[in-house]
Structure 1
Amino acid sequence: MTRRWTLPLAALLATAAPAVAQLPTLPALTPAPVSTTLTGGAVTLGDSVVLVTAPGTDPAVVALVRAMLGDAGVRTITTASRLPATVDRPHIVLGTADAAPVRAALARSGTAVDTHREGYVLTIARDGVVTLAGTDGDGLFHGLQTLRQLVRRASLPALTIRDYPAMPIRGTIEGFYGKPWTTQDRERHLDFLATVKANTYVYSPKDDPFARDKWREAYPAATLAELGSLARRARANHVDFVYAISPGPTICFSDPADQAALERKFDALRGQGIRSFYVALDDIEYQKWNCARDTQAFGPSGAAAAGKAQAQLLNAVQAHLVARDPAAPPLIMVPTEYYDAKETPYKAALRAALDPRIVVQWTGTDVVPPAISIPDAKAATKAFGRKTLLWDNYPVNDYAQTTGRLLMAPYVKREAGLSGELAGILSNPMNQEAPSRVAVTGIAAFAWNDAGYDAERTWTAAARELAGGDARAAQALLTFFDTQHIAPTFGSQPWQEQAPKLKALLDRVRDTIADGDAPARAAVIAELTQRADAIADAPDIIRAGVADPAFAIQAAPWLDAMGTWGRALHLTAAGLAAADAGNPAATRYFADAKRLAAEAAAVRTIPGATRFDGTIKIADGVLDRFIADAPGLIAAPVR
């Protein structure tokens, strides 16, 4: 039976509107928590908050909470050792789940502790008690990143969040060719990784001579101290700083002196507080020995012999690390055959001999894989004899097919459920650190909760973060991201298309001009004009609005080119409007658009900023093609 409403719909909506406006809503959080349950009601922080800090809580974490509350408008923060029976203002209880005040606060809200490593429970009760309980110190810190997002709201919804990572290793590997990041880039990147709940940064720039060509030599004292400073910055952000060395081009695997040189390098870095190490054996010749004694030790050179030799060296280094530090994280290595999961003599030898504690990296089904499925990862597990750590070559832009590009599409085509077959994911970012954060936000969110990952929402969240919450700047950034959406492979076919949102509009313009009536043509040309203005205006909005000026600096030539392309598209829209009205001024508009398009196409990358210098690409194959085709879409008026 159909129910009949006795009031008009408009009256019902008007009646409901005030109540709806006051209802607490499910917050949008990045990465998506494993479980979020609204419990009814809301809490406003106001001017005064009481902070209940459990004994043993890291003072740096307490300082972060205080800063966070200050940014949210709280003016008075007092402290207490426990919750009172009745609270007269918001109380925030902070600590690990084994602390008595935290357990008492959780019990008060009827919530159990979480037991997952790096996990946390966050409860907001309608009486104003906020409890953040980390399973461990890392979990507490990750929970702070969730609370940081929540306190930006005018009121906090009463809720319970139970959250923990799907993958144990999540972060980035600075493993690209070309100009390495500066120390300031790395510091900012470590701060950023904390905000997306990543826990790993691998220092592996290909152009550090003391990590590759001069790997046997000691670092200069100043450089060693700088690496130690970065490791301390990482620790403060609950990120594991991993030092990687690339001895493969010259190492003699059977030479005790070379093994000692590796261990000596690691020992020196351990003296700077670095505890995690990595041996990179990628991009080397493995069919030829570097020394005669390897022939005596392992036989004639070849893939299988290389696998055996590498395993012997790595096992010895792993044993050394444990002898120096029994609690040391396991050694990580990237094999010479780091892509695909096909069975080979090299993989068989490595699998048979390599210490099972050692973590193996793998780039997927190719160097730049178009997709990665659960069966792909299972094949890698079988090939390497352990769950692999995915080295995802996205958004790295150090190969020829990426010349003139920033890779800023959302992270997609990695199958939900990969957390069951991977040890983690490390993104290989771009030479441009700040623009890399767009893709890395997605990769970190996927690694945290692949089952709950939403690519489009995470992409939008990355824009909001870069914009510092400025909605206009966030929208301008999304317009920019769309012009840098293409994701090339080593082949001719990209694994993500170029400018899908812009292309959809331009296709609609073409179709409407071809088949629509006069009002429809006028409407779609007006819409095109609006989009052209958005593209032309975006660079200035981004420069003024981004929270970190490094983004605008590192993306400068792309922003310059984008503005010019936007003006060219505006003139193109004017030409179409004139042509549609039979106005001969269309010819001049199209000519001016062509001239500006040529200017925009000539803008070049910052010399030396990337491995391959070249001209900037902005929605190439979409925007340029439309501007070139537009004069032929409507017949010129007959004079």
Structure 2
Amino acid sequence: MTQTAPPPIGILEGFFGRSWSWEQRQRLASFMRREGFDFYLYAPKSDRHLRSRWREHWPADDWLALQQLRATYRTAGISFGLGLSPLDLCSASGEADTDALDRKIKRINELDPNWLGLFFDDMRGDIPGLAKRQAELAHRAAQRSTAGTILLCPTYYSDDPVLDKVFGARPKGYLTQLGRELDPSIEIFWTGPKVCSETYPLAHLEATAHQLGRKPFLWDNYPVNDGAIKSKHLYLQPPEASRFHNRDAIAGIAANPMNQFALSLPALCALAQGVTQGGPTTLESALQHTLPHPLAVVLAQDADFFAQQGLNNLGDSERLRLLKRYEPLSEHEAAREIIAWLRGEYTFDPACLTE
């Protein structure tokens, strides 16, 4: 049996809370090229000019940084895109403001993006005609964008009932109507059975594809840790293997990483290897491949504790022991991230509502 080519894999910087630096985003490009990633989407929740202030242009310093970032990814051969969240355009009050969307996309076009995401997550969804309105906006964006790939994130991007609890009951038949209204060339993001899904069963992916009228494009919320509970944990282990085994049932996969840049790399590396090779790698292999040897050895011993127990189960003596364990390794970025995490410097952003 001939094995099909793997779907596109990328990194979607789409988390709440403490952001990565521009310098870290620049360095990510070389990591992605080395590991075989296809695309990067810039969509941090902290960038208000993609969200609450999306109508406004970026300040000069940020705009220059975006231009430089785009150039770096072009040089690396990695497709580059942005995720725009025009949060109020789906409401009745926003219907007359589509000109602002046109202006924003015109500005984004100056970056010559390969991909453009239109994100309708984190907004009220109990709105009449929601699916039709979102499809119309996506078509408008696609017509005006120079990007070759358009992706839409629905308001209800999972079967998880927490979305209905936070954003209102989903309209009946929402996903089916959205898939029917939306041009088949536009990809639809999906996080799986849960907002943060551990597994992606084949039957679930096939049922979702039937609803959407296309294969779902996975927004994989692993190893992201921006939630009220997850922010107390660090996730270094390779992703669960259904992502790899069921890769023919998805249109692509975009991994949402942790607030901790360097500590995200082992899981991201394992994702790329798993998707391209069709099977998982080991924690030790991913750590040794992405982190300095002395730190990789120590982290291999502590990774399960960081993922399963976390900060809330650390007593003062255990916290002090771990600080003393990692402080001698603080020349390494990942060790400094662990130290900052142990000291509580990665604070939870209450704007993250879905955990």
Shorter-chain TM-score range? 0.7 to 0.9
RMSD: 2.9
Say if 2:234 is the partner of 1:400. no
Letter in 2 for 1:349: Q
Offset at 1:279?
0.6
In the superposition, the TM-score normalised over structure 2's length comes to: 0.84
Match of 2:204 among 376, 383, 407: 376
1:330-366 deviations in Å (ceiling 9; x for gaps): 2111001101299941112201111111110000011
SS class of match (1:555)? helix
| Distance across 2 between alignment mates of 1:203 and 1:536 | 32
Aligned residue for 1:486? Answer: 308
For structure 2, the 5+ residue unaligned runs are 162-170, 314-320, 351-355
| Distance across 2 between alignment mates of 1:188 and 1:264 | 30
* Percent identity of paired positions between Structure 1 and Structure 2: 27
Aligned residue for 1:336? Answer: 155
Letter in 2 for 1:477: L
1:299-344 deviations in Å (ceiling 9; x for gaps): xx2xxx10111111111221222xxx4xx42211100110129994
Aligned residue for 1:166? Answer: 6
Change (3 A) 1:537 1:206: closer
SS class of match (2:229)? helix
Contact 1:341 1:379 in 2 (8 A): no
Aligned residue for 2:63? Answer: 224
Offset at 1:542?
4.0
Aligned residue for 1:463? Answer: 287
Which runs of structure 2 are paired with 1:137-148 in the superposition (5 Å)? Answer: none
Contact 1:473 1:541 in 2 (8 A): no
For structure 1, the 5+ residue unaligned runs are 1-34, 36-162, 289-300, 489-497, 499-533, 559-602, 613-639
Match of 1:611 among 346, 349, 355: 349
Offset at 1:267?
1.7
Say if 2:293 is the partner of 1:454. no
Structure 1: 4+ residue segments shifted above 3 A: 249-257, 341-344, 534-538, 540-544
Which runs of structure 2 are paired with 1:162-201 in the superposition (5 Å)? Answer: 166-167=6-7, 169-201=8-40
Count of residues in Structure 1 that have an aligned counterpart in Structure 2: 331
Contact 2:191 2:218 in 1 (8 A): yes
Aligned residue for 1:319? Answer: 143
1:87-112 deviations in Å (ceiling 9; x for gaps): xxxxxxxxxxxxxxxxxxxxxxxxxx
| Distance across 1 between alignment mates of 2:323 and 2:18 | 30
Contact 1:241 1:274 in 2 (8 A): yes
Aligned residue for 2:178? Answer: 350
Aligned residue for 2:336? Answer: 553
Aligned residue for 2:167? Answer: none
Change (3 A) 1:476 1:255: closer
Say if 2:104 is the partner of 1:282. no
Change (3 A) 1:285 1:356: same
Say if 2:330 is the partner of 1:543. yes
Aligned residue for 2:103? Answer: 264
Change (3 A) 1:265 1:555: same
In the superposition, the TM-score normalised over structure 1's length comes to: 0.48
| Distance across 1 between alignment mates of 2:306 and 2:212 | 35
Offset at 1:371?
1.4
Change (3 A) 1:478 1:357: same
Which runs of structure 2 are paired with 1:425-464 in the superposition (5 Å)? Answer: 425-450=253-278, 453-456=279-282, 459-464=283-288
Change (3 A) 1:454 1:265: same
| Distance across 1 between alignment mates of 2:309 and 2:159 | 19
1:28-64 deviations in Å (ceiling 9; x for gaps): xxxxxxx9xxxxxxxxxxxxxxxxxxxxxxxxxxxxx
| Distance across 1 between alignment mates of 2:54 and 2:324 | 48
Offset at 1:254?
9.2
SS class of match (1:461)? helix
Letter in 1 for 2:343: R
Which runs of structure 2 are paired with 1:55-70 in the superposition (5 Å)? Answer: none
| Distance across 1 between alignment mates of 2:71 and 2:274 | 27
Change (3 A) 1:251 1:352: closer
Contact 1:254 1:313 in 2 (8 A): no
Aligned residue for 1:208? Answer: 47
Contact 2:269 2:290 in 1 (8 A): no
